[in-house]
Amino acid sequence: MSDILGSKPAVFNVAQMGNPVLRIPAEPVTAEEVGDKSTTFLIDSMIATMREHSGAGLAAPQVHVSKQIVVIEAHSNPRYQNKEDIPLTVLLNPKITKFSEELEEGWEGCLSLKGLWGKVKRSTAVTVQALTLDGRDIEIKAEGFFAIVLQHEIDHLYGKLFVDRMDDISSLSFTDEHNRYSAD
């Protein structure tokens, strides 16, 4: 294989709602794929793409790759002001093993539903089992914004979008109107 890309990540085009890749279940990452060159390039490029678009997370199907990989990060994110920071987290084959019974409704957006925001009810805490970049088993117990982002991103791996989770579609808003009338 040639090395025209070197080690530099790429910024990918983000698949938008209506693209079938967002609606099919993603395949698990295999043991052979963990840590290999193309998986590393994909993950580095997902991180670059998430940062370029000020996302708090990104799932591989959003960059047209139907694989169970999510990246999450938030540092003073302009799309999510007043939310706590989340350190860069890369998860392969993540599964939510526990959902809190307690639910909370909050505003969500998605890089695949550009310019749209809606209110979604989610568990306030979750436990997630996954593999790290280098194939180690980890368990994460998350609450608050991190728990919400984990649920949103892992939904992408099952072909689910936040609009599917809305109890009441009437809160669906465009960014300008959302910022003007309903941002929390």
**Residue entry with tokens 């706590």:** 84
> Which residue is at the shortest CB distance from Ni ion?
110
Please identify which residue in the block is written with the tokens 């996954």: 130
Minimum distance from residue 148 beta carbon to Ni ion (Å): 11
Q: Rank residues 131 and 153 by Cβ distance to Ni ion and give the closer one.
A: 153
Q: What gap in Å lies between CA 77 and CA 169, rounded to an integer?
A: 25
Comparison of 36 and 48: residue with beta carbon closer to Ni ion: 48
From 170, 179, 165, 172, select the one nearest 79 (Cα to Cα). Answer: 179
Q: Give the phi and the psi of residue 130 in degrees, each rounded to 5.
A: -160, 175
Binding positions for Ni ion, rule: CB under 5 A = 110
Which of the residues 73, 108, 139, 153 is marked catalytic? 153
Q: What is the DSSP-derived secondary structure letter of residue 178?
A: I
The residue (of 10 and 17) whose beta carbon lies closer to Ni ion is: 17
Q: Least distance from C-beta 152 to Ni ion, angstroms? A: 6
Q: Is residue 122 a contact partner of residue 165, using CB atoms and an 8 Å limit? A: yes
The CB-of-58 to Ni ion minimum distance in angstroms stands at 7
108 is catalytic: no
Tokens found for residue 24: 């099919």
Residues taking part in catalysis: 153
